[in-house]
Structure 1
Amino acid sequence: MIQITLPDGSLREYDQPLSVHEVAASIGPGLANAAVAGRVDGELVDCEFMIRTNARISIVTPQEPDGLEILRRSCSLMLAMAVKQLHAHAQLRTGSALGDGFYCEFAVERPLTTTDLPLIEARMQSLAATNHSIRRSSTPSPSAPPESLSLYRLGDTEYLTTGPHVPTTRVLQAFALDHVSGTLQQRIYGTCWSSHQELQQWRLPPLVVVVSMDDRQTSYAHAVTERLRRSGVRALADLRNEKVHCKIRHHSQTVPYLVVVGEKEQAGDFVSVRGRSGEDFGRMGVEAMCEWLGQSWMAGV
């Protein structure tokens, strides 16, 4: 007999091993349909993970941060599949979740442009509707330790990636591609949310954009953005792997405030704030900046 303890403390007993998805289905069909992963004794696992001993189990859905990151990570795989189908010459280099979305990096013979993005996005929508399964390979990769990277199969291709991933592409519905950068080595960026309503909310003009200096500040910049949102400020993060002056120039004509984070800002837990017209408001602690921007927003500045 296997005893499963749920987050509310209730106990369920099963007479044979079962998967995380089967646990979710035994609780209710709605939870089974929403499940994107599980947490077994505190560890994130795929829905197909088999439970063979007593454990504490919670079902992960896109309504929590871990579930949303899993959606975005899986969107990266679906982007890779779509690009390969449309552009056979493209060779995938890397891809992952990133801030509010995801990215894939490719080596290409012919550079892709923004005019290619609608076709790629349409192919991704078709792949989502076709409902492909995403399965972790039972054979570990000899080139990577199992605790960091695993082989996942989507369609007829295997990808070396961090898991877990969603069980099928049908749950990947609210996504969009918004940028492509580079020439022969290119990155395509997109965003992904748990619902179309959240996607439309993300598309609203922001009061502030948080700009990272380089990839080393990605986590800090995203955390600053989330803190702004919790304080009621409409904020987005630009985490693209591009020169910071290019990102600042891109946003300076349309966004009232830019919050720049680099190595010094991250180390000191502060930010540098600039205005749309080039004003330098100096460095501020994150909490002070949230309060200051919140007051500016309330005042309609």
Structure 2
Amino acid sequence: MIHITLPDGSLREYDQPLTVYEVAATISLGLANAAVAGRVDGVLVDCGFLIEGDARVSIVTPQEPDGLEILRRSCTLMLAMAVKQLHPNAQLRAGSSLGDGFFYEFAFQRSLTLAELPLIEARMRALAATNHSIRQETALQGTSTERLSLYRLGDFESFATGPHVPTTKVLQAFALDHIGGTSEQRIYGTCWSSQQELDTWRAPPQVMVVNIDERQSAYAHSVTQALRRRELRANSDLRNEKISHKIRQHSQKVPYLLVVGEKEKEGGFVSMRSGSGEDFGEKGIEAVCELLNPSKTGGA
């Protein structure tokens, strides 16, 4: 007999091993359909993970941060498959979730342009509509702390860090928005749990957080999330582009920019400037919120 303890403390008994998805289905069909992963004794696993002994189990959906990150991580696989179908000679490098979205890096025989992204996005939508399964085939431990597994999406295979969503049908609210680089190019996109969330993200922001290089990506994203919790319309640009390019691009259409480098990350603050070039200097997150949205911070 296998004993499964759920997050509310309730206990369920099963007479044989079962997957995370099957546990979800015994709770409700709606939960099973919404599941993108599970936690087994605190460890994130795929929905197909087989539970063979007593465990504490919770079901992960896109409505929580880990679930949303899994959606974005799975979009990288679907992007790679779409690109290989359209450009068979493209060489795969690596993909990852990144802030509000994801990216995948490729080496192409010729550089792609921004105008080609709609075709790639359309192919991704076709793959999502076909509702391919995403299955973990084998797992191996790399030299890093991340565990790589071989995942199969349709007839496409790639080594990636899991877990991933069980099927592509949950990958609906996504968009490709940028391509950077020359000989090796990164295609960037965003992904959300609903079209409404995607539309909200597309609305013009009050504040754009930009990082100097990839070392500050996690901190820049955490700043963005802190601003959103205080009801500011904030986005972040975490692309691997020169900071001067990002500032120049966003200054034309965003009222305020928050720049983060190593100094800002270590100190827990940002360097603030307006789109018109006014320099507000170094500021803590609370000070930024008080300046831009005083009604939510107790200011006048």
Q: Fold-level match, TM-score > 0.5?
A: yes
Contact 2:227–2:234 (CA under 8 A) maintained in structure 1:
yes
Q: How many residues align?
A: 297
Contact 2:21–2:35 (CA under 8 A) maintained in structure 1:
yes
Determine the C-alpha separation between the residues in 1 that align with 2:180 and 2:266.
28
Contact 1:233–1:297 (CA under 8 A) maintained in structure 2:
no
Following TM superposition, by how much is the alpha carbon of 1:154 offset from its aligned partner in structure 2, in angstroms? 1.3
2:183 counterpart of 1:184: yes
Q: How does 1:1-301 map to 2 (within 5 A)?
A: 1-138=1-138, 140-141=139-140, 148-295=147-294
Determine the C-alpha separation between the residues in 2 that align with 1:145 and 1:175.
30
Q: TM-score, normalised by structure 2?
A: 0.96
Following TM superposition, by how much is the alpha carbon of 1:230 offset from its aligned partner in structure 2, in angstroms? 0.1
Q: Tell me: CA distance 1:32–1:267, structure 2 relative to 1, closer, same or farther (3 Å).
A: same
Determine the C-alpha separation between the residues in 2 that align with 1:295 and 1:116.
43
Instruction: Give 5+ residue unaligned stretches, structure 1.
Output: none
Task: Compute the RMSD of aligned alpha carbons.
Answer: 1.6
Letter paired with 2:177: D
Determine the C-alpha separation between the residues in 2 that align with 1:186 and 1:30.
39
Determine the C-alpha separation between the residues in 1 that align with 2:277 and 2:145.
48
Query: Any idea what SS the aligned residue of 2:147 has?
Result: coil
Following TM superposition, by how much is the alpha carbon of 1:142 offset from its aligned partner in structure 2, in angstroms? 7.1
Contact 2:107–2:185 (CA under 8 A) maintained in structure 1:
yes
Query: Any idea what SS the aligned residue of 2:53 has?
Result: coil
Following TM superposition, by how much is the alpha carbon of 1:155 offset from its aligned partner in structure 2, in angstroms? 2.0
Determine the C-alpha separation between the residues in 1 that align with 2:143 and 2:153.
19
User: Residues 130-187 of structure 1: CA distance to partner in whole angstroms, max 9, x if unpaired?
Assistant: 011111113x347557952111111222211110000011110000000011111100
Determine the C-alpha separation between the residues in 2 that align with 1:143 and 1:15.
35
Contact 2:269–2:285 (CA under 8 A) maintained in structure 1:
yes
Instruction: Give 5+ residue unaligned stretches, structure 2.
Output: none
Contact 2:290–2:296 (CA under 8 A) maintained in structure 1:
no
Letter paired with 1:78: M
Query: Any idea what SS the aligned residue of 1:137 has?
Result: strand
Q: TM-score, normalised by structure 1?
A: 0.96
Query: Any idea what SS the aligned residue of 1:274 has?
Result: strand
Contact 1:227–1:290 (CA under 8 A) maintained in structure 2:
no
Determine the C-alpha separation between the residues in 1 that align with 2:246 and 2:145.
36
Query: Any idea what SS the aligned residue of 1:149 has?
Result: strand
Q: Tell me: CA distance 1:156–1:238, structure 2 relative to 1, closer, same or farther (3 Å).
A: same
Letter paired with 1:27: I
Letter paired with 1:199: L
Following TM superposition, by how much is the alpha carbon of 1:268 offset from its aligned partner in structure 2, in angstroms? 0.5
Q: Percent identity, aligned pairs only? A: 70
Q: Tell me: CA distance 1:145–1:18, structure 2 relative to 1, closer, same or farther (3 Å).
A: farther
Q: Tell me: CA distance 1:120–1:52, structure 2 relative to 1, closer, same or farther (3 Å).
A: same
